Structure 1
């Protein structure tokens, strides 16, 4: 075996490894496709060198060298094409020049001796016997596009972010190294020794240096967005929300399992996906976020005309968010995030019915008030709950809803609707219904408050809600909580009183509320006190309101009392300050930790 064959064989092996690696990790995008075309051309170029150095019959070599000249005539143009797309640059006259000329020159190379004059045998194999345009062609179609591409990489990377700049530098270094090595071993000797060469040319095999740098760029900096896209797809696959990624032409690039189930699609992935086939009244024009009903299939699983397997879907509603994203280069697509809002729709319908009935009849409002305010609390040796509720009028806008989950955790919604009377009671009833839905879903306090806000935003326009959402685990004694514009709860521990820190925006205000989750570990003997603002908004004889700070000082003085007497004393203190005149609903809640 010719030992010199190890050079192009090694280069071909490494180029093919990188080619397979890119195909395995990347989807169908124009930048990657152009790189793969360039990589295929390089591999064919190196393969032709292997054939040259295999000492095949000499009568084959002349035509073989003319035919395979297309590989190196196109190499520089394909690489420049890839660089333009990678840098998101529009084609210019120079790129069009290289495109047209490289294709026009190939017939000349194939039919004349101007570029490839024949084959001559060397000790490493056969080499091209150059025509008078051979060196000019190498410089014009291999060296010149590479130099121009390297200049673009340096120029375009100046003001880019560091990760992209490092990618450009690695690609530049690999291209520079392979270009210099190819020039020194192939073109320069032809120019110095009247077209003859005395050692193996490495113009094709040298591209392996570029391939090594491209691999490093992928591994370290996510070149071609391969590594980042792989991570993104892994994250998408674990989302409970459905994710559907489509190209501008409707080509299905990716979807996760949740997306398939929400749309009711099973079986193999189709080439294209039209969401209007599965969602009622899906608009052809772009949108940001809309709600849709999933189309029902009348019988069991069936097969559509495109061969897609459809399942029978229940009465299901989806919230669809659409965003345009940059896929690669100048290619754009749309990512659709699907959320199942069937519970939200059902609860909204119940709220609408409830709202109309309560407006008409105050007696029904009283019944609703009784249903939204928890009167009987869970019993446990680990904790005890005390409460006090008194509406300003026949009904009020305070919400105290407490439930116990199957795993023994306690969830509490303590809320205060702005205003008082029948309209506030209606909103309070709706918030209580929303809490009932949230508590069954097992969400975090912040998520529960956001769900309540989203559910009521389209229905309630004249009120806002301040709230505290608590979730207590008696086993670990960890209290998770979130505030939505409500004043802080009080923690009574060892005779001392401190505020349970945290903050958040009110619900149903302007825009989406900004909320946070907090947690604290309670101890045996701790007491957590919640109260509505009706307790401290009473006014004294001179019209001056009590204020929250005055009430907190009163709690500190009364903290030695047991929980039941403490609540009674605070109510008496408030009534005494206001001369018995109430200005709002009055609600108190105390969670006492026993063990």
Structure 2
């Protein structure tokens, strides 16, 4: 005799050889374990719940929408199978309130209804239902819909897990970014300390400095130092590349040319008769080149314009090591470029550098600058160039002096840049305004 079990719409479930119930397979059961069945008909509730339990689901039962909502709040189900027409809180309102509960995981909702018109389906979808089954319920169709819901939940859980991993990864990256940002801000402070004085008077003359990195830190360096009663040196340096590596090289070079430690300064030599004196610029460049080229830990090179001389006589000497040629704006308005080129520092171990002597007169202005000025793209799409910078220098010199002149020069550069174009390179400059010669 064939064993009998609960039937839905007159069907008898198939029987396994061991005598247990056989149903269509349900996929994604790892995502769909707990099912809440809601129906005010105890008979239908018992039939549906029994079938699902035999399939291996954990089943909760509720005979009203209010009782179901309480269960959803305390033990959120993976799937709700609810009758639509119930007294009090019906299935449609239950679905709305179920969606409002603060669940971490998505719950699938199937409405059981005798309604089949499109307006009813639309109303159910608007309330948050995922699927519908028409009464009387077909057992195979019900399990097929649960199977579809399990796949949806599985994909949702996988997506949620991936989102969790992405969120955690982003949080970790943000922490790393914050740490790097703190380090870069500190590095910027340290690099700014390499230029402790922005302006300094040397008797009747004045040296002003400008340093504008395009990022937190940069590879440009400007500086000045004196020796004896009238010795003066100033320089403008541009390390190849950008960022932290270049900034570390500038810090190292700053130590070689430090005004605070003249005994370690390559630009100062001690003479037996006269004490500290300015070393010839070509020798300073040669020694600096030997230090950098001979260091296996330094792969970068740098360009440099280095000038040293005597303020008492106005006699100065330039070394141009691959750097843009300095501009000399005479007191009478004539402008000339100085220098004969030369190899960068640290590129060739045995490089030598040619001195370029010149003489300053009262009222002359000498500008050392990096290619961050001349290679800036302007509104016309062209780079500023040396001729363009000469025009800006003349205009700024007619309006201001000292550090205000350099500020005005940078403002004119920024104002003429291509719209929305940030600085692509560090911008730096050293300005010497020569006054009356110092008396020895």
Higher alpha-carbon Rg: 2
Give me the TM-score of the superposition, normalised by structure 1: 0.37
Greater relative CO, 1 or 2 (CA 8 Å, sep 6+): 2
Give me the TM-score of the superposition, normalised by structure 2: 0.50
More helix by share: 1
